[in-house]
Copies of this chain bind each other. A is one copy, B any other.
Amino acid sequence: MHHHFLQQAIELASQNVADGGGPFGAIIVKDGAIIAASGNRVTPNLDPTAHAEVMAIRAACRQLGDFQLNECTLYTSCEPCPMCLGAIYWARLAMVYYACNRFDASQAGFDDSFIYDEIPKQPAERTIAMHYIELPSANQPFQEWYKLDNKIRY
């Protein structure tokens, strides 16, 4: 079953190249049925976050009317990049299966492996420098969130 759905994700990635997108495809399955599928649509949608996994997660959430995908499995033609890995954790998927890895993606000209290598660096020393500025009100939004009685945790 896992081979079957992963094979479909690869075929979707191929189809997506023909359709003007990047060479990546992702499928989300719940209870043995596909509930969402997408190729990478970064350049056609002018959206750098429109990776196949992110697009499929958004579509699955719309399908279920939920911001969590606890009982769902993701099949993706390539190992998720850090952005997609983060999206998978925030969506709380049950499991992920992948075919290619970050080094295959790198050979094809994509930054997946490069971004993984940036993460352990000190924020200010990354290629895209991330600078901390100390401001007295920085924690105020968290304090307001903490005090909120009817907050929806995610």
Q: How many copies does the complex hold?
A: 2
Please indicate the chain B residues that have their CB under 8 angstroms from the CB of A96 in the complex: 123, 128-131
- A142 B49 Cβ-Cβ under 8 A: no
Best-surrounded residue of A79, A99, A144 (most CB of chain B within 10 A):
A99
Q: Give residues 130-154 of A contacting B (CB, 8 Å).
A: 130-135, 137-142, 144-146, 148, 152-154
**Contacts A82-B119, A137-B7; is A90 near B153 (CB within 8 Å)?**
no
Please name the residue on chain B nearest to A88 by beta carbon.
B128
Q: Give residues 1-44 of A contacting B (CB, 8 Å).
A: 2-3, 6-7, 10-11, 13-14, 16-18, 22-25, 42-43
What sequence of 0s and 1s flags, for each residue 40-65 of chain A, a beta carbon within 8 Å of any chain B beta carbon?
00110111110100100110011001
What sequence of 0s and 1s flags, for each residue 63-82 of chain A, a beta carbon within 8 Å of any chain B beta carbon?
00111110000000101111
Please indicate the chain B residues that have their CB under 8 angstroms from the CB of A134 in the complex: 99
7 A-B pairs (CB sep. < 8 Å): A10-B135, A10-B138, A51-B90, A90-B111, A97-B130, A97-B132, A107-B142
Q: Residues on A close to B: CB < 8 A?
A: 2-3, 6-7, 10-11, 13-14, 16-18, 22-25, 42-43, 45-49, 51, 54, 57-58, 61-62, 65-69, 77, 79-101, 104-105, 107-109, 111, 114-116, 118-120, 123, 128-135, 137-142, 144-146, 148, 152-154
